[in-house]
Structure 1
Amino acid sequence: MDQEKVNILLVDDQPAKLLAYEVILKDLGENLVIASSGREALEVLLKTEIAVILVDVCMPELDGFELAAMIREHPRFQKTAMIFISAIQVSDIDRLRGYEMGAVDYVPVPVVPEVLRAKIKVFAELYRKTRELERLNHELEDRVRARTAELEASTAKLRESEQRRSMAIAAGKMGSWDWDWISGDWMWDEGQYRIFGVSPEDFEINPANVQARLHPDDVDQLRKAIAEFNKGTRAYETEFRIVRPDGEVRWCVGTAAATMDENGRVVRVSGVTVDITERKRAEERQNLLAREVDHRAKNALALAQSIVRLTRADEVKAYVNAVEGRINALARVHTILSLSSWQGAELSRLIDEELAPYSLGEQIKLAGPEVQLLPATAQTLALALHELFTNSAKYGALSTRAGRLAIDWQVDDELLTLSWEESGGPLVKTPQSRGFGTRSLLASIESQLGGQAQFDWRAEGLLCRLEVPLTRKTAAAAPGKFDTAGSAELQRASG
């Protein structure tokens, strides 16, 4: 490959000498640049990259020494090679001065062509090699910078990946571990210690200690995993429980992978442990909720079936109205219970829901503390109240504008006592026999809730007293025993 030509500046005030230098140096194959004065030489230097300067010492205006001093003052030309040509005898002092000005060599006159060519060739080649070295250094620096940038970017990505992993382990309750199958050495990360509820300072990782932290019913899972790897299995996954030092049981899923040697024998097992306790609890809650929904749906259907089966009426319309009223009462209490996630219902809320269709204003007075009822108690009491309201609206105090109804309740030693007192309505006579409504109310309060229902058929209005235990669980009895006979049969003589 042809070498890149360099520029050689020839400076002399005599054209004949310049021509002679050109002839001598032509065979070098370099670019020869001519300057006939020191000032012209400076102009060339500012515009052109020069490798070697061949300058005559004796020149008018600026001699060679002065030109060299000016060239060396410029930062670009402090290392440019300068060769002086002198037609006079040069003393040691002159040589020293020349070297101080930046000259690298002297050529006496008459010039020996071979010597001049040799000197110029050496410095031209040195310039070329220097430039090549500088270029290579620049390329190397660029490569180093690029490689450094790549390493920094790779390190940043690795650090970011590790941070994401640490965050994922912390957020996802994950841990990783490594087990040297040959030496038996274990390595746990921070997440693994956290899942087991131990710390590196107080827990030595060995098979015995790890097994001691496993739930007794799940120890066989560890033995099974070891047996599988000994058979050549490369990956294994299982669910297991651990018992933390404080006694808390946690559910985990473990995934392990084996590293084999060239003979197919296990040399290392690495794995990840994920704490799935919350997921397990959610599944249990879901299953419990499904069973609870199934149970409540069956109860609701059984209650609806009892309502339909036991309701009595002389006409189809009356029968339909009675059934719809009771099912609506059941639906209302279900809505209240649903809003509380089936934790219970306020007694005052049940009464308000039954009052809503009537718009009776000042005819009704309510008094009593806030009472939270169990779901089963709320369902039964809601239907009992529905029977009382329906009967009163048809035949009692709520059937006339002059009628008044006072409902008050109190709680003493987990016993709810509710008083229903009517007045101002039609004249009341004691019924000769209990209608279906009366029997259903008695059955619901006494049989299902273990309470008591007392009726006083006063002439001025019905007085009913209900006593309901708030803690008894008998409300879970079979819904079929609930007697929801028609309130139309709960008749009282009126006059």
Structure 2
Amino acid sequence: MDQEKVNILLVDDQPAKLLAYEVILKDLGENLVIASSGREALEVLLKTEIAVILVDVCMPELDGFELAAMIREHPRFQKTAMIFISAIQVSDIDRLRGYEMGAVDYVPVPVVPEVLRAKIKVFAELYRKTRELERLNHELEDRVRARTAELEASTAKLRESEQRRSMAIAAGKMGSWDWDWISGDWMWDEGQYRIFGVSPDDFEVTPASVQALLHPDDVDQLRKAIAEFNKGTRAYETEFRILRPDGEVRWCVGTAAATTDESGRVVRVSGVTVDITERKRAEERQNLLAREVDHRAKNALALAQSIVRLTRADEVKAYVNAVEGRINALARVHTILSLSSWQGAELSRLIDEELAPYSLGDQIKLAGPEVQLLPATAQTLALALHELFTNSAKYGALSTRSGRLAIDWQVDEELLTLSWEESGGPLVKTPKSRGFGTRSLLASIESQLGGQARFDWRAEGLLCRLEVPLTRKTATAAPGKFDTAGSAELQRASG
């Protein structure tokens, strides 16, 4: 007798991919239903019984996550198997989100035909068996009223088994167990052995052996559960850790329910164990990320506050331009660091970003190796370079077409030395007072990074040397003709 075909819904906004899925799955002999959008898929679901939904995560208007959430809200589709297909790198957080929305599996692109067919076949068979079981249950319920209590108990066990199966589909990594309270016998399914990292071939399930696999700090949870059932509690749930034989620690949540006899005495305890390690790790990463974002936001706000508070100008427009320029420099380096996941930034990239607003042609020459800067060093140097470029563009070599600027840098024993040499610009005089640019440059280079900022006020153009340790150690600069007593009085510092 031919088995009844089931309907498999394929959802993707790209016809070529839908055609590819049809070709891959046609050998299964099932009914393939096509939907080119999330809304079309919802219309199909309301009219047709669907066994498995294969849905693309990235779709316009209504993506896979949103579609899954809408499907799960309908009572008819709370147990429908959904498999996500993603052509992008899926993070742990994305996977957790998918599972929370009801996905039972992920299939990456490019799709391996044999793997996709195997996954679809499993859930199609599961759907078929479920429907057969539901029909048998209906027939059995028509007769159960006339049967004995023993037959009623068998029916209850069958329903419990179905509930455990449904929970396993929804929750993912899960195991179930039964404990005969009278005889002390245990029954574990395959998932339970897998979670605890043991094999049914060489592991005997006893209270003592189970306790040995619990984290020492969580052993009391087992004792407490036994005591609660002895007091009459019928259900118990708790989180606990297990220590696998290979030393790996896993987080689990356990739920147990007691079965009693006519006198109310506990005769059996059944339960499920769900491995929530990935969720716990995701929560830890999320908390760490939140703290890191908070820390960086506070640092950025502190820098912005210093810029606003210390900037001086004779006119409002000049003040606004100075503040905006410094904050934009801070924003640019934050963008560079974000693109590297805050691992660091290339010095040449920082210089290029500061050069971008100017059309200087061949007025500037750059020379130096690739240097990777720590995030804190990159932020500080970005602001220092901004001050140098701004002042040079206003008053120095970059304020005239005849002016020239040479920037070169080198690294020797974790000490970065950057030289800034201007020529061909207006006549230079030694400054008499310090503006914000000077003060911020000194404070950032010398105080924050443990380096030195030294200036030579030559008539033909400013010569500046910045010495910055690439580690947190304080740099020791060699003596020279640079003015360290006046320590960087930028003659042309903006207000």
TM over 0.5: yes
The 3 A distance-change label for structure 1 pair 433 and 233 is same
8 Å CA contact 1:365, 1:407 repeated in 2:
yes
Q: Indicate the SS of the match to 1:293.
A: helix
What is aligned with 2:483? 483
Task: Report which stretch shifted further, 376-385 or 50-59.
Answer: 50-59
Contact residue 421 and residue 463 of structure 1 kept, 8 A: yes
Deviations 1:149-202 (A, max 9, x none): 999999999999999949956981111112121222222222112212222233
Deviations 1:78-131 (A, max 9, x none): 999999999999999999999999999999999999999999999999999999
Change in CA separation of 1:477 and 1:291 when aligned onto 2, cut-off 3 Å: farther
Equivalent pair of 1:303/1:479 in contact (CA under 8 Å): no
Range that drifts further, 58-67 or 226-235: 58-67
Distance 1:475 1:481, change over 3 A: farther
Give per-residue Cα distances to partners, 1:282-312, cap 9 Å, x unaligned. Answer: 1111111222222222111111111011111
Determine the C-alpha separation between the residues in 2 that align with 1:471 and 1:156. 68
Distance 2:375 2:91 in 1: 124
Give the 5 Å matches for 1:131-146: none
CA gap 1:488/1:22 in 2 versus in 1, 3 angstroms: closer
After superposition, the Cα gap between the structure-2 partners of 1:55 and 1:408, relative to the gap in structure 1 and judged at 3 Å, is closer
Shift of 1:357: 0.7
Q: Which ranges of structure 1 fall in alignment gaps of 5 or more residues?
A: none
CA 1:261–1:383: 2 relative to 1, 3 Å? same
Work out whether residues 177 and 187 of structure 1, in 8 Å CA contact, stay in contact via their aligned partners in 2: yes
- Contact 2:258–2:266 (8 Å) recurs in 1: yes
SS across alignment from 1:476? coil
**Do the aligned partners of residues 415 and 182 (structure 1) sit closer, same or farther apart at CA in structure 2, a change above 3 Å counting?**
farther
Corresponding residue number in structure 2 for 1:76: 76
Query: Structure 1 residues 159 and 353, CA, compared in 2 at 3 Å: closer, same or farther?
Result: farther
Q: Does the aligned pair in 2 maintain the 1:449–1:472 contact within 8 Å? A: yes
Matches within 5 A, 1:388-427: 388-427=388-427
Q: CA 1:121 to 1:484, structure 2 compared with 1: closer, same or farther past 3 Å?
A: closer
Q: 2 CA distance for matches of 1:444 and 1:138?
A: 77
Q: Which moved more, 1:106-115 or 1:135-144?
A: 106-115
Identity %: 97
Q: CA deviation at 1:470?
A: 2.2
CA distance 1:428–1:257, shift in 2 (3 Å): same
The 1:183–1:394 alpha-carbon spacing in structure 2 relative to 1, beyond 3 Å, is same
Q: From the superposition, tell whether residues 108 and 142 of structure 1 become closer, same or farther in structure 2 (CA, over 3 Å).
A: same
Residues 171 and 59 from structure 1, CA distance in 2 versus in 1: closer, same or farther, beyond 3 angstroms? closer
1:392 deviates by 1.0
Q: Taking structure 1 as reference, are residues 176 and 397 closer, same or farther at Cα in structure 2, changes over 3 Å only? A: same
Cross-structure match for 1:223: 223
Question: In the superposition, relative to structure 1, how do residues 164 and 272 fare at CA in structure 2: closer, same or farther (>3 Å)?
Answer: closer
Counterpart Cα distance in 1 of 2:324 and 2:61: 127
Does structure 2 retain, via aligned residues, the 8 Å contact 1:443–1:483?
no
> Do the aligned partners of 1:82 and 1:103 also contact (CA within 8 Å) in 2?
yes
Residues 473 and 167 from structure 1, CA distance in 2 versus in 1: closer, same or farther, beyond 3 angstroms?
A: farther
- Residue 321 of structure 2 aligns to a residue in which SS? helix
Q: Give CA-to-partner distance per residue, 1:25-71, whole Å, 9 cap, x none.
A: 99999999999999999999999999999999999999999999999
For 1:322 and 1:484, locate their aligned partners in 2 and report how far apart those are by CA, in whole Å. 26
Question: Partner of 2:432: helix, strand, or coil?
Answer: coil
Structure 1 distance, partners of 2:223, 2:234, is 16
CA distance 1:429–1:198, change in 2 (3 Å): same
The 3-state SS of whatever aligns with 2:94 is helix
Q: CA deviation at 1:394?
A: 1.0
The 8 Å contact of residues 430 and 457 in structure 1, kept in 2 or not, is answered as yes
**Shift in Å, 1:222:** 1.4
Contact (CA 8 Å) 1:311, 1:486: kept in 2 or not?
no
Supply the distance in 1 between the matched residues of 2:332 and 2:111 (Cα, whole angstroms): 124
Higher deviation after alignment, 129-138 or 12-21? 12-21
Q: 1:167 to 1:340 in 2, by over 3 A?
A: farther
CA distance in 1, matches of 2:335, 2:52: 103
Aligned length: 495
Give TM-score, length-normalised by structure 1.
Answer: 0.62
Deviates more, 1:91-100 or 1:170-179: 91-100
User: CA 1:317/1:157 → structure 2, altered by over 3 Å: closer, same or farther?
Assistant: same
The alpha-carbon deviation at position 384 of structure 1 amounts to 0.9
C-alpha distance 376-476 of structure 1, shift in aligned 2 (>3 A): farther
Q: How far apart, CA to CA, are the structure 2 residues paired with 1:302 and 1:380?
A: 13
Measured after TM superposition, the shift of residue 375 of structure 1 is 1.9
Return the alpha-carbon distance in structure 1 between the equivalents of residues 492 and 112 of structure 2.
152
Give distance in 2, aligned partners of 1:87 and 1:425.
55
| Segment drifting more, 34-43 vs 336-345 | 34-43
Preserved CA contact (<8 Å) 1:368 1:410? yes
Give, in angstroms, the shift of residue 203 of structure 1: 2.6
Shift of 1:366: 2.0
Q: CA deviation at 1:490?
A: 3.3
Q: Which moved more, 1:127-136 or 1:474-483?
A: 127-136
Whole-Å Cα distance in 2 between the matches of residues 309 and 58 of structure 1? 46
Contact 1:363–1:403 (8 Å) recurs in 2: yes
TM-score of the pair, normalised by structure 2: 0.62
Q: Secondary structure at the match of 2:127?
A: helix
**Superposition deviation, residue 443 in structure 1:** 0.7
Give the Cα–Cα distance (whole angstroms) in 2 for the partners of residues 106 and 312 of structure 1. 57
SS of residue paired to 1:319? helix
1:422 to 1:494, Cα distance in 2 relative to 1, 3 A:
farther
* Alpha carbons of structure 1 residues 464 and 232: separation in structure 2 relative to 1, 3 Å: same
**Structure 2: gaps of 5 or more residues:** none
Cα distance, 1:254–1:25 mapped onto 2, change above 3 Å: closer
